[in-house]
Amino acid sequence: MNPNAPLLLALRRLRRHKLAMASAGVLIALIVIVVLAGIIEQALGVDSNDIDLFNRMGAPSSDHLLGTDELGRDVLVRLLYGGRVSLFVGLTAASVAATIGTVVGLVAGYFGGRLDTALMRLTDAVLALPGLPLLIVLAALDLEKLGLPDAIVQSEDVSFFRIVIIVALLGWTTVARLVRGAALSIKEQDFVLAAVGSGGSHSRIMFRHILPNLVSPIIVAVTLAVGNVILLESVLSFLGLGIQPPMASWGNMLTNAQETIWEAPMLAVYPGLFIFVTVISFNFLGDGLQDAFDPKAEY
């Protein structure tokens, strides 16, 4: 039997999911243009951080295709750089959270007993915490009072890493419970019992025999989580607790736009539309992957 047959079957099912394929195309196009933000910036002959107070909230023109913001900066280029930050935060935080959740769930499901009970009670405790209020409190902590070096506190990237760490520390629980349930079932399969009987070590059995069979649900969980992380980053940045200027993100672009909503409403529409399209695309893609990897789905 071809070992890649389940993956090929899943890809065949995914291709029949029109919304998922359309969403994947949108996301690929979005990722490409935000990665090429610097090249696009040079081609347009603008600077994303160049302030021009004489051209505040300018209308779209040949020089500024989507106009300028409240400080006279090019909106299109800032949207692309903001998308780079928002997407990278979403993908990085979701991946780190999935890694933590996978390790916790795999250990709990494989060993069982008291260790399983302790890890699952820890998971339940984290799940019981009020998510958004806790995120706001953690994001508002003064890093200087935590004793961190000035080089880190004053770094332009500190807000980015702060959000990734906070979201990852609070967002691993769903993956942990998912992996733990799957691991409990897989460890009773004949090929795992054969590996145990042949004297395989715990780490080899977990990561060589059980983990590869958990890749599909983990991918689905990560895909669905990315959209939620982007929304959380946008909320925190909108509240002034996320990505800090001059670094652009869709969330802090919305924050800046709220002061000029009546004079230039499109400054709020553009980042809001990008957030909406990105989040809904990740959700549709996650649904498609979930159906594709479902073993009960029809061929």
| Domains of the chain with bracketed CATH | 27-38+75-292 (1.10.3720.10)
* CA separation for the pair 113, 116 (Å, rounded): 5
Write down the pLDDT at residue 204.
Answer: 85
279 token code pair: 């989040």
Instruction: Of 116-120, 157-161, 210-214, 293-297, give the lowest mean pLDDT range.
Output: 293-297
Within 10 angstroms of residue 50's Cβ, the number of other Cβ atoms is 12
- pLDDT digit string (tens) for 49-77? 888 888 888 888 888 888 888 888 889 99
The residue that leads in pLDDT, 10 or 88, is 88
Location of structure tokens 């023109």 = 61
- pLDDT digit string (tens) for 27-42? 999 999 999 998 998 9
pLDDT band at 6 (very low <50, low <70, confident <90, very high): low
CB 85 within 8 A of CB 248: yes
Across the range 243-250, mean pLDDT stands at: 80
Q: What is the pTM of this model?
A: 0.83
* CA separation for the pair 282, 133 (Å, rounded): 25
- pLDDT digit string (tens) for 225-238? 888 888 888 888 77
Write down the pLDDT at residue 2.
Answer: 47
